[in-house]
Structure 1
Amino acid sequence: MTRIVAVVGTAGGVGTTRLTVECGATLARAGRDVALVDAAFGTQGLRSYVDADVDADVTALLTEEASLGDVLYDIPVDTEGRLAAAPARAPFERLARAQTVGAAKLLERQLAASSLSYDVVLVDTPPLAGNHAVAAVNAAERVALVTEDTSRGRDGLALLRGRLRDIGASGDAVLRNRATEQLSEGVGIPESEETTAAGAPVCTTPDAEFAPAVATAVESMLDISLDLDFPAGSRLENLRG
């Protein structure tokens, strides 16, 4: 069954976009076809992971200036599954039009449409402060909350949960990015040795620490088991053993 997942950051700078990309790459490695959709219009961070000229972006889709096929760009990965992204890259005027109530409703419909062609749709979603972010959560079957592993992250998590309750939603998984084990809740993910968008995604190949932790995060957010091999003694192997 196709799953639409809103990957929601508790605040800017917690690494939601990078983690969305790495989760997508992990699913592609497991044989799933994955679409990444950018709902974080303010930062437009997903664009950094697309190695192609972006002529039409997700905001053009939401202002009915482009079709779904026009705004999905393949991210070249050596995996069994496909990884594609619909990034945001637009001038301010179109960004404003893409954040109206009507555009938000269209985002919900387009996410449902993308799920017809992909096994999993991951939506890079900013903190809930706009129509497009709320639309991403409303369209999602699962919601993953991304926070940093600090006391500030704990506060941000509480605030985000309050906003989710306000719209009648809740979180299905908590992902503690750049984990230092200050918080005990959810899945902790260490910082990758590769810190640039140009070097990502790195989860298409096994890694002794980062990639297995991302796989654990994917299993948590989707409530599935991935049939992936990792080095003996890795985080995922230890959890399963």
Structure 2
Amino acid sequence: MVETDDGERSIVALVGATGGAGTTRTGIELAATLARDGRTVAVVDAAFATQGLSEYVSGRIAPDVTALVTDDPNEPIPSATVELSDARSPLDDEAQRSFGSVELLPAYAPFERLARAKTPAAAELFEELVEEAADAFDHAIVDVPPVASNQAIAAVTVADTVVAVTPADDHGTDALVRLRDRLADLDIPVDAAVAVGGDPRSVEPSTADSQTVDLSLPETDPSPCDAPSCLEDDRYGEALVELAESTFGVTLSIEFEATGVRDRVAAALTDRVGSNATVGSNATDSS
């Protein structure tokens, strides 16, 4: 993993071990977490088929990432990206002033251009595009589908750090094994594995690779209109900070309010028996 605080280029590929793992949302949240520390971040879409990153864009998408590797290869990255909408709204005035930026480069194209964007020649241009994004921004994050296409191979090849994203269940565990095997065929290691929907406090160490950083993210609302959740949900935000620091090799200056024992117990009771549970309440009827 690279130390970006020394000014080195940093590219992280978030690779879905299976479809629907939460890779795109994790990329958005990771970018917002880095921007919360004043950094500029580009999120580049390699999932040409699903085009999920486009759902986080409220404005016009033109040119999209597939155009940049086919019809418009000379278009500069900063002029093609679209800002993540409302990324600062939950923050106070001071935090908003120090917020960096999150710029998205999604796929949003007709089938004919999608086909051309998946060729080996386009994949070479995709590598150059990701490198350009890393030069233009403090960080570049690539949203990568399960590795089975030329642009996905290009993404993991050019990345400094490869992070596998899996569901926090048995299916995710099996998918991670398959992804490791596929990347091993390319001589590319998995630097970190993130289980989405798990408990960050109870992550089991990986037995497949002692060098892998094992992390977990709690559940969050999957709807794009509710992103980024890391700005409002401290538990989720803390897990994202750990992910950012582990994968980019940086230290983020993000503070969270301390939660007291009473608050933690109240939250646990609420989860177990409903919102009417209170700590220290008298359960007997006084009438």
Q: What TM-score does the superposition give when structure 1 sets the normalisation length?
A: 0.91
SS class of match (1:209):
helix
Give ranges in structure 1 of 5+ residues lacking alignment: 235-241
Q: Does 1:63 align with 2:91?
A: no
2-side partners of 1:227 and 1:69: how far apart? 26
Give ranges in structure 2 of 5+ residues lacking alignment: 1-7, 89-95, 206-213, 261-287
Report the counterpart of residue 20 of structure 2 in structure 1. Answer: 13
Residue 20 of structure 1 aligns with an amino acid whose one-letter code is G
Contact kept? 1:150, 1:183, Cα under 8 Å: no
Instruction: Count residues with an aligned counterpart.
Output: 232
CA spacing shift, 1:215–1:183, aligned 2, 3 Å:
closer
1:1-57 Cα deviation digits (max 9, x unpaired): 231111001011010000000000000001110000000011100001111111210
Report the counterpart of residue 198 of structure 1 in structure 2. Answer: 225
Residue 75 of structure 1 aligns with an amino acid whose one-letter code is L
Q: 1:152 aligns with which of 149, 153, 171?
A: 171
1:162-192 Cα deviation digits (max 9, x unpaired): 1111111011111110115786241111001
SS class of match (2:136):
coil
2-side partners of 1:233 and 1:223: how far apart? 27
Larger radius of gyration: 2
1-side partners of 2:215 and 2:171: how far apart? 17
Q: What TM-score does the superposition give when structure 2 sets the normalisation length?
A: 0.77
2-side partners of 1:171 and 1:226: how far apart? 23
Contact kept? 2:25, 2:222, Cα under 8 Å: no
SS class of match (2:47):
coil
Report the counterpart of residue 238 of structure 1 in structure 2. Answer: none
Please give the root-mean-square deviation of Cα atoms over the aligned residues, in Å. 1.7
1:108-131 Cα deviation digits (max 9, x unpaired): 011111111101000000011000
SS class of match (1:158):
helix
2-side partners of 1:219 and 1:83: how far apart? 17
Report the counterpart of residue 184 of structure 1 in structure 2. Answer: 204
2-side partners of 1:8 and 1:82: how far apart? 23
Report the counterpart of residue 10 of structure 2 in structure 1. Answer: 3
Structure 1 stretches of 4+ with a deviation exceeding 6 A read: none
Residues 74-113 of structure 1: pairs in structure 2 closer than 5 A: 74-76=83-85, 77-78=87-88, 79=96, 80-113=99-132
What's the offset of the Cα at 1:202? 2.0
Identical columns (%): 40
